[in-house]
């Protein structure tokens, strides 16, 4: 947005000179000129009318005239209704492009760190079942937002919180004990998390069967659901776990170990990492001292049965339980404790929780309680709330087998990438190892881009079949465009055309060239906005725009066959910057781009 800032400065001078006045910053509304009009930047004059005391057209004309006579970078202007469209000289855009060329880490690494630490929690799986579609959205968002924050100068700490304890974990353990016959990932060849997940499903099946049996015996349904023998066994197992029963702990460690190894494979395939992993079995007792603090401050109240509550009705919320009557804590209490622990440990300036929007209320309450406890840093917590992923057939329910498994989905994407590439004969010149790398990049790129291009907070529809369409606004279109530009540049190098990065000065840019430079100069602004809004979607749509605009440009203008050497040189340097920005932008989405495909 350098051009905007430039024009805003000049407009300030113009207003001072013409009307002898100064206006607040937000009164000068500058935007990109719509495609159907001539111009680069546009001033909306309505907010200036009180200052100019003229009609919109008159104001626009006066300002336009002033700019044209006093600012050499302004080539010409036109006025339509209250809009002043300003066209800048080619030389302005050339110098803008030269700035980009000269910056090593254009848009992705600020000159200096902000010295601010931000913690990003994402993924946060349960250890009783494999990762699914919803987790994928979480993981991709968490990773991408972390990269974007880094690009904005933050020191990012990526953390995972594994929910490795509780009744649901005991359910799969119990089912394995009963029906597993000693099956292990090694003996069965199954991925650990999938194996454990199967026993979780098995438990549910058995649980339902036992309910039906009880109902048949004349027990009421509600009562039956609570008195099912297998559920009572699971509860007993949880009790023994909490009592640190050696046999149970050993089983728990073994089965969780299988799951972790399974998760690690999935994380690796998705290309994500964590700086630190927290386990709920370590943290579930945290938060009790906060309860004491709250009671002492009078923020919490203890009821006659010993349970502890916080009353948030004055804030428009409900009462919330923090300690059960038996003295054990609940999810909220643990989360409060965990947040406090992390703050004490890291003194973060921001803490981003990537968690689904079904927990909006939970986080609202969490932040409010932390604030009531007197923690100013509660305001630095941001719940990156994302919408559900829906399937064309309807809701995903893990117990009903309508989930899309993360590993299966990745396989499907990569396999489709392979068969499409083979069909098009793309790998004829690549070694098997290179081809393998490329199809992984394509398959995963398609998946990641499809998920991340959607505004996080919106519910999105994921159609596995459609996502593997490699046409249109997709990751593979961008990867392909990147590979093609690379190919042009290789050819240019072979022909020994313009090796250096010094732009010629006296050339006239056409519309598409100017547009490309405009888009390129916008990159840092987009990265910054994406960071402010925690939204990779802004970057995804930006890169698509860049790639598409290049394709349009290249359809009409030549590079290798261009006769004018100065123009040719400009176009080669421009192309270099485009591939650079595409590559860096995609990296912020966690997507790698192949050199050839």
**Contact set for RNA, span 505-524 (CB under 7 A):** none
- Check binding of 484 to RNA (CB under 7 A): yes
The C-alpha atoms of residue 147 and residue 540 are separated, in whole angstroms, by 13
Task: Give the torsion through C-alpha atoms of 474, 475, 478, 481, to 10 deg.
Answer: -100
Of 171, 426, 518, 569, the one binding RNA (CB under 7 A) is: 426
Q: Which of residues 100-159 bind RNA (CB under 7 A)?
A: 126
Stretch of 127-135, 370-378, 400-408, 559-567 lying at the interface with RNA (CB under 7 A) = 559-567
What minimum distance in Å lies between the beta carbon of 184 and RNA? Answer: 26
Burial pattern 287-299, b for ≥16 Cβ within 10 A else e, equals bbebbeebeeeeb
- The β-bridge partners of 120 are 158, 352
Q: Does 357 bind RNA (CB under 7 A)?
A: yes
Tell me which residues in 259-298 interact with RNA (CB under 7 A): 280, 284
Instruction: List the one residue out of 6, 204, 15, 192 whose CA is nearest residue 99.
Output: 6
Contact yes or no for 73/59 (Cβ under 8 A): no
State the minimum distance, in angstroms, from the CB of residue 396 to RNA: 10
What's the closest the beta carbon of residue 182 comes to RNA, in angstroms? 28
Using CB under 7 A as the binding rule, whether residue 430 contacts RNA is answered as no
Q: Are 380 and 350 in contact (CB under 8 A)?
A: yes
Judged by CB under 7 A, the chain residues 372 through 391 that form the site for RNA are: 388
Q: Which is nearer to RNA, 165 or 288 (CB)?
A: 165
Among 98, 210, 235, 551, binds RNA (CB under 7 A): 551
Nearer to RNA, 156 or 283 (CB): 283
Binding residue for RNA, selected from 200, 241, 274, 477, defined by CB under 7 A: 477
Asked if 561 touches RNA (CB under 7 A), the answer is yes
Contact with RNA (CB under 7 A) among 42, 514, 577, 592: 42
In 3D space, the residue among 111, 65, 107, 102 whose CA is nearest the CA of residue 84 turns out to be 65
Site for RNA in 54-83 (CB under 7 A): 80-83
CB proximity list for 452: less than 8 A, separation 6 or greater: 140, 141, 144, 536, 537, 540, 589, 590
Per CB under 7 A, 196 contacts RNA? no
Q: Does 559 bind RNA (CB under 7 A)?
A: yes
Based on CB atoms, which residue is closest to RNA, 156 or 573?
573
User: Judged by CB, which is closer to RNA: 268, or 318?
Assistant: 318
Asked if 219 touches RNA (CB under 7 A), the answer is: no
**Minimum distance between the CB of residue 141 and RNA, rounded to whole angstroms?**
13
What distance in Å separates the CA atoms of residue 352 and residue 386, rounded to the nearest whole number?
12
Give the footprint of RNA on residues 320-339 (CB under 7 A). 321, 324-326, 330-331, 334
DSSP 113-181: ----EEEEE----BTTS--BHHHHHHHHHHHHHHHHHHHTT-EEEEEEEEB--SHHHHHHHHHHHHH-T
Residue 338 Cα distances to 120, 309, 346, 349, angstroms: 14, 19, 12, 16
- Site for RNA contains 558 (CB under 7 A): yes
CB 381 within 8 A of CB 392: no
To 10 degrees, the CA torsion angle through 577, 580, 585, 588? -150
Q: Which of 188, 213, 360, 419 binds RNA (CB under 7 A)?
A: 360
Binding test (CB under 7 A) with RNA, winner from 236, 318, 511, 564? 318
Least separation in angstroms between CB 466 and RNA: 7
Site for RNA in 523-542 (CB under 7 A): 537-538, 541
**Among candidates 255, 54, 95, 93, which has minimal Cα distance to 174?**
255
Alpha helices in 313-383 (DSSP H): 331-346, 360-372
Stretch in the footprint of RNA (CB under 7 A) among 108-116, 229-237, 250-258, 480-488 = 480-488
Contacting RNA within 228-257 (CB under 7 A): none
Nearer to RNA, 156 or 332 (CB): 332
Within residues 441-460, the interface with RNA by CB under 7 A covers 442, 453-455, 457-460
Among 46, 72, 212, 411, binds RNA (CB under 7 A): 46
Chain center to CA of 13: 40
Q: How far is the CB of 109 from RNA (least distance, A)?
A: 25
The window from 194-202, 217-225, 467-475, 498-506 that contacts RNA (CB under 7 A) reads 467-475
CB 168 within 8 A of CB 200: yes
| Least distance to RNA, CB of residue 140, Å | 14
Stretch that binds RNA, among 62-70, 133-141, 229-237, 486-494 (CB under 7 A): 486-494
Measured at the alpha carbon of residue 208, what is the angle toward residues 204 and 209, in degrees to the nearest 5? Answer: 115
Of 55, 85, 48, nearest to 68 by C-alpha is 85
> Closest by alpha carbon to 496, among 572, 553, 570?
572
What are residue 419's phi and psi, to 5 degrees?
-65, -35
Strand residue runs (E) in 194-349:
276-279, 300-302, 308-311, 319-323
| Binder among 77, 122, 480, 523 for RNA (CB under 7 A) | 480
* Strand 41-44 to 29-32 pairing: antiparallel
Q: Cα–Cα distance between 331 and 449 in angstroms, integer?
A: 33
By C-beta, is 343 or 544 nearer to RNA?
544
Region binding RNA by CB under 7 A among candidate stretches 67-75, 172-180, 498-506, 548-556: 548-556
SS3 155: strand
203, 175 contact by CB (below 8 A): yes
Residue of 461, 508, 511, 565 that binds RNA (CB under 7 A): 461
d(CA 546, CA 252): 51
What angle is formed at CA 505 by the lines to CA 503 and CA 511, rounded to 5 degrees? 85
Of 42-50, 106-114, 181-189, 220-228, the window that binds RNA (rule: CB under 7 A) is 42-50
Measured in residues, the chain has a length of 597
Euclidean distance between the first and final Cα of the chain, in Å?
33
C-beta closer to RNA: residue 331 or 436: 331
Task: Decide: is 404 part of the binding site for RNA (CB under 7 A).
Answer: no
Q: Which of 115, 471, 500, 563 binds RNA (CB under 7 A)?
A: 471
Q: Which stretch binds RNA (CB under 7 A): 94-102, 107-115, 317-325, 400-408?
A: 317-325
Name 385's bridge partners. Answer: 355
CB of 11 to RNA, least distance (A): 13
- Contact between 421 and RNA by CB under 7 A: the answer reads yes
C-beta of 420: minimal distance to RNA in Å? 5
Q: How many residues bind RNA (CB under 7 A)?
A: 94
């Amino acid at each position: 947005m350098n051009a905007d800032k430039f024009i805003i400065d000049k407009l300030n001078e113009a207003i001072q000179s013409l009307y002898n006045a100064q206006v607040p910053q937000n009164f000068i509304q500058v935007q990109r000129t719509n495609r159907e009009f001539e111009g680069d930047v546009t001033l909306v004059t309505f907010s200036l009318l009180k200052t100019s005391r003229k009609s919109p057209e008159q104001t626009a004309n006066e300002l336009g005239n002033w700019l044209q006579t006093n600012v050499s970078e302004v080539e010409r202007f036109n006025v339509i209704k209250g809009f002043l469209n300003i066209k800048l000289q080619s030389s302005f855009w050339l110098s803008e492009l030269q700035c980009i060329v000269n910056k090593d880490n254009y848009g992705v690494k600020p000159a200096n760190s902000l010295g601010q630490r931000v913690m990003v929690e994402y993924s946060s799986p349960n250890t009783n079942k494999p990762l699914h579609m919803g987790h994928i959205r979480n993981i991709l968002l968490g990773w991408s937002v972390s990269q974007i924050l880094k690009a904005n100068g933050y020191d990012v700490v990526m953390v995972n919180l594994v929910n490795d304890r509780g009744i649901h974990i005991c359910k799969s353990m119990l089912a394995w004990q009963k029906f597993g016959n000693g099956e292990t990932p090694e003996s069965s060849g199954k991925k650990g998390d999938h194996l454990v997940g199967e026993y979780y499903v098995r438990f549910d099946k058995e649980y339902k069967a036992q309910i039906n049996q009880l109902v048949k015996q004349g027990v009421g349904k509600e009562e039956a659901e609570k008195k099912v023998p297998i559920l009572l066994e699971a509860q007993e197992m949880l009790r023994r776990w909490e009592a640190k029963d050696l046999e149970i702990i050993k089983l728990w460690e073994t089965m969780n170990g299988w799951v972790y190894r399974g998760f690690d494979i999935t994380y690796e395939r998705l290309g994500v990492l964590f700086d630190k992993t927290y386990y709920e079995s370590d943290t579930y007792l945290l938060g009790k001292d906060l309860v004491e603090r709250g009671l002492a401050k009078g923020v919490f109240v203890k009821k006659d049965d010993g349970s502890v509550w916080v009353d948030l009705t004055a804030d428009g919320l409900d009462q919330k339980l923090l300690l059960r009557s038996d003295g054990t804590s609940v999810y909220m209490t643990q989360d409060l404790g965990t947040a406090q622990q992390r703050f004490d440990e890291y003194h973060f300036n921001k803490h981003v929780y990537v968690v689904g929007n079904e927990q909006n209320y939970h986080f609202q309450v969490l932040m409010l309680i932390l604030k009531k406890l007197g923690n100013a840093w509660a305001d630095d917590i941001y719940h990156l709330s994302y919408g559900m992923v829906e399937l064309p057939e309807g809701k995903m329910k893990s117990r009903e087998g309508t989930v899309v498994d993360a590993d299966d989905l990745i396989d499907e994407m990569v396999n489709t990438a392979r068969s499409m590439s083979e069909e098009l004969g793309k790998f004829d010149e690549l070694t098997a190892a290179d081809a393998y790398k490329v199809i992984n990049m394509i398959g995963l790129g398609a998946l990641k881009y499809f998920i991340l291009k959607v505004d996080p907070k919106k519910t999105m529809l994921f159609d596995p079949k459609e996502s593997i369409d490699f046409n249109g606004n997709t990751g593979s279109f961008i990867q392909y465009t990147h590979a093609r530009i690379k190919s042009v540049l290789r050819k240019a190098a072979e022909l020994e055309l313009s090796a250096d990065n010094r732009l010629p000065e006296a050339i006239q840019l056409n519309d598409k060239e100017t547009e490309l430079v405009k888009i390129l100069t916008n990159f840092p602004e987009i990265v910054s906005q994406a960071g402010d809004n925690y939204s990779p979607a802004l970057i995804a749509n930006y890169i698509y725009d860049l790639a598409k605009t290049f394709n349009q440009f290249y359809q009409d203008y030549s590079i290798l066959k261009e006769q004018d050497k100065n123009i040719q040189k400009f176009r080669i340097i421009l192309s270099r910057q485009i591939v650079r920005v595409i590559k860096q932008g995609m990296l912020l989405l966690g997507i790698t781009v192949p050199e050839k495909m």
